[in-house]
Amino acid sequence: MVTEVKISELPAATAANGTMQLEVNDGGTSKRVTNAQQLAYIQTVPLSDFKAAWDIDTRSLQKVSLDYNLDLRIWGFERGSQFNRDIEIHKGAVVRDRSVDYEDYDWECICPDLGG
């Protein structure tokens, strides 16, 4: 089901103090939520089509994280070389960047068929 979202244009003072509101119409029921409530709700956006060749460039992701004020959490799969990458970046700072190796990749890896 698709949710329609109508942006309510409120006075500039309202937007400036962070109380801008959105009207969400979900199946005929309208609800007003503040921008802060909306941001708290949208915490995770899965990227299933993310692709990288050979490895994931942490430095590029650091820049994206810093430029757009994003926290990134990536678990990447490399089927050919049989390892995973565990990367976490908060506001441009690398919190975790490690390679995960397995003795039996097909048995231990959570998605052994993903990756190049």
> 3-state DSSP call for residue 96?
strand
Close Cβ partners of 84 (under 8 Å, ≥ 6 residues apart): 75, 76, 77, 78, 99, 100, 102, 109
Task: Report the pLDDT value the prediction gives residue 16, as an integer from 0 to 100.
Answer: 47
* CA-based R_g, the chain, Å: 20
Task: Report the pLDDT value the prediction gives residue 29, as an integer from 0 to 100.
Answer: 62
Task: Report the pLDDT value the prediction gives residue 38, as an integer from 0 to 100.
Answer: 62
Alpha-carbon distance of 113 to 116, in angstroms, equals: 9
> 3-state DSSP call for residue 65?
helix
Task: Report the pLDDT value the prediction gives residue 85, as an integer from 0 to 100.
Answer: 92
Per-residue pLDDT of the chain (116 residues), as tens digits, is 444 444 454 444 444 445 555 565 556 666 666 666 666 655 566 666 777 777 888 998 899 889 888 888 888 889 889 999 999 999 999 999 999 999 999 999 998 998 87
Task: Report the pLDDT value the prediction gives residue 95, as an integer from 0 to 100.
Answer: 95
Task: Report the pLDDT value the prediction gives residue 94, as an integer from 0 to 100.
Answer: 95
Compute the C-alpha angle 78/81/86, nearest 5°: 40
